[in-house]
Amino acid sequence: MSVLGNPAPVRATPARLIASAAVRLPRRLLLAICLIYITFGLFLRDPWKTEDVIGLAQMWSAAHLGGLAWLTPMVGDTLSAINGPLTAWVGGLSLLWLGPLTGDIIAGRLPNLLWFSLSSAAVWYGTYLLGRRPDAQPLALPFGGQPSPRDYGRMLADAALLLWLATLGLAWPSHETSAVPAALASQAVAFYGLARLRDQPAFGAATLGLAFAGAYLSRGLPAVLPLVLALPLVLRWRWHEELRPLLCLALPLALLPCATWWLAARTWHPEWLLTWQYWQQAQLGLPTAAGALSLLRNLPWFLWPLWPLALIAAWRWRGWYGASHMRIPLGMAVAALISLLFFRRPDEADLLALVAPGAALAALALPTLRRGQVNALDWFAVMAFSVAGVLVWFGWMTALTGWPTQIANNIARQTPGFQLPFSTFAFVMAAAATAAWFALLHWRLRTHPSALWRGTMLSAGGVLLTWVLLVTLWLPSIDYARSYRPVANGLAQIVARQPDAPCLDSIGLGLAQRASFAVFEGLVFDREADCSLVLQQTTQSQPEPLPGATPAILLWQSSRPADRHEFFRLYRRP
């Protein structure tokens, strides 16, 4: 199929809608949903391994160590060439300005509010611009009564944003202090820039250029590749409408910041840049068998509920691929799918390029569905998320009371040595979220609303319920399983007792562990060979002696109880 060609329709529009179905969703309610979604799970917790704590350590290194850590991401004195510098810049500035007031961990997470706001606004406004175009309008009724273009576009935008929030794979990455939220925001802004290119070419092209720069400076080629592949599928290459603004505005705005940073990194830190290029080359290539299997396993649940609705939209609007409201999201989605064929092991960060165009496509499917089909989707959301909420509550009560015994023992095996505490605050928040879910069900089942976004509200509310329950009731267990705070505290106490503030070396220490020790206790490992203290990461079952002619003195050893593989030993060289 071709997404180029004559934009004139070849068959009647499949959208059927009356004005009452495009009733406005209250702005305060939509903003409240977004605020609850991003704040819960972002604060009041420890940094988790792996990407979460590494990203925070890169910000910490830039703010507290300075030097090359501002130019290229570092974890202490260690190269960390798995992300671009954008998140380290923004997070480092946040730590410098707000860290003294809020603490480093909270200050490092505040940029996530920026990335989430950019992503959400870009998805809403991009869909709104496409939805109010003449080609996207529903069938005109014989005696009137269809929604106005503005109301119809706003209804599609509301539905797209709710579907964006309802995407299962978006919840965890959007709350991590890594490069992924910045890359996701850049890709969503690129979607908005393409949607704006038709009516405001200069502004759309400038936005698109900045989005390309943000994608490259956040995750490099893996984040830029879907956008590059989308251009030939989306643009018409008309000189006055698209090509001239792209060449005059988008191209300089994309190349100038990227080239400036690249030349500076090549001059001042060529070792890091070479490592980063190797990392990107290692990502690219034909998918391996394990990578293809992982992609097929993760893609259906990761993009739920977007992909079924997106497929319906692609089929129902099959005569309208040349129209901008289909050409832009469909072209970006197809390009994102094609880009997955160029990654050896596509991970969840690579799948996120599908979310913004997928949300717009899914929203376009709603006015083409019959009432019975919409009700079926509503009931599925009600049943699925109600069961999910019950399971979360049941598991929490089982872990807290120890009954039923068999299930409680299975839960305890995941976090050995941990007793789940009762938190009044967490219980109240979880109970309030559950009450809000029941109120939403009452609104849907008793009032029978005609608004077409009612089903997407149920899906977004169900995801919000499940996420809030997990990050309130189960947050202590997650911290216990994924945080290095107790190990870092114990190591810092032993190091502080040593005379003459000795330097600290390491053997076999992973990047996530280095990042955790830096974030929690400010411990930085030197690369000097004559450090008196050496921290070794090994396993408890197979201890490895410290290399050297003279046996070293064991000062401390510890591990995380939830991890059966990692074990840490601190030695003093004679």
pTM of the model: 0.94
Q: What is the pLDDT of residue 548?
A: 64
Which of 2, 22, 40, 31 lies closest to 475, judged by CA? Answer: 40
- According to the model, what pLDDT value does residue 110 have? 97
Q: Per residue in 360-397, pLDDT tens?
A: 999 999 999 988 888 888 899 999 999 999 999 999 99
What pLDDT sits at residue 371? 85
Predicted confidence at residue 267, as pLDDT, reads: 96
Helix (H), strand (E), coil (C) string for 238-265: CHHHHHHHHHHHHHHHHHHHHHHHHHHH
**8 — pLDDT class (breaks 50, 70, 90):** very low
pLDDT of residue 512 exceeding 90, the answer is: yes
- Residue 262 above 90 pLDDT? yes
Dihedral, CA of residue 104, residue 566, residue 302 and residue 25, to nearest 10: -30
* pLDDT tens figures, 186-207: 999 999 999 999 889 999 999 9
Assign 77 a pLDDT band (cuts: 50, 70, 90): confident
User: pLDDT tens, 99-146?
Assistant: 999 999 999 999 999 999 999 999 999 999 999 999 999 988 877 788
DSSP secondary structure string, 336-363? HHHHGGGBSS--HHHHGGGHHHHHHHHH
Q: Considering Cα of 320, then 321, then 326, then 328, what sign does the dihedral take?
A: negative
- Predicted pLDDT at 543: 65
CA 358 from centroid of its chain's CA atoms? 15
Phi, psi of 535 (to 5 degrees): -100, 125
Better pLDDT: 551 or 173? 173
Longest dimension (CA), the chain: 95
C-alpha 163/C-alpha 460 separation (Å) is: 6
The span from the CA of 30 to the CA of 128, in Å, is 15
Using alpha carbons, select from 431, 525, 414 the residue that is nearest to residue 476.
414
Cβ–Cβ < 8 Å for 78, 493: no
Percent of the chain scored above 90 by pLDDT? 74
pLDDT of residue 95: 97
CB atoms within 10 A of CB 58: 32
Contacts of 312 (CB under 8 A, 6+ apart): 365, 368, 369
pLDDT bucket at 562, cuts 50 / 70 / 90: confident
Quick: pLDDT tens for 387-400. Answer: 999 999 999 999 99
Instruction: Please give the Cα distance from 68 to 56 (Å, whole number).
Output: 16
* pLDDT band of 272, cuts 50, 70, 90: very high
- Beta-carbon contacts of residue 551 (< 8 Å; ≥ 6 apart): 545, 574
**Cis amide leading into 305 (omega within 30):** yes
- For the stretch 34-55, pLDDT in tens is 999 999 999 999 999 889 999 9
The string of pLDDT tens digits covering residues 405-451 is 999 999 998 888 899 999 999 999 999 999 999 999 999 988 888 89
What is the band of 547 on the pLDDT scale with cuts at 50, 70, 90? low
In percent, the amount of the chain with pLDDT more than 70 equals 96
Distances (CA, A) of 16 to 12, 148, 313, 377: 11, 13, 13, 18
What's the confidence (pLDDT) of residue 10? Answer: 45
Higher pLDDT, 423 or 10: 423
Q: What is the mean pLDDT of residues 274-295?
A: 90
Q: Which residues contact 469 (CB under 8 A, 6 or more apart)?
A: 389, 392, 393, 396, 430, 433, 434
- Record the tokens describing residue 49, joined without a space: 């391994």
Residue 222 has pLDDT above 60, yes or no: yes
41: tokens are: 């799970």
How far apart CA 85 and CA 560 sit, in angstroms, is: 31
Distance from C-alpha of 123 to C-alpha of 126, rounded to nearest angstrom:
5
pLDDT exceeds 50 at position 4: no
Q: How far is CA 220 from CA 83, 265, 272, 273, in A?
A: 7, 14, 14, 11
Among the ranges given (77-91, 173-187, 444-458, 532-546), the one the predictor scored with the smallest mean pLDDT: 532-546
**Is the separation of the CB atoms in 242 and 235 below 8 Å?**
yes
Look-up of token digits 């606004």:
121
Ranges of each domain in the chain: 19-368, 371-482, 485-572
Mean pLDDT for the chain? 91
Tokens 């979460």 locate to 52
Looking up tokens 């611009």 gives 129
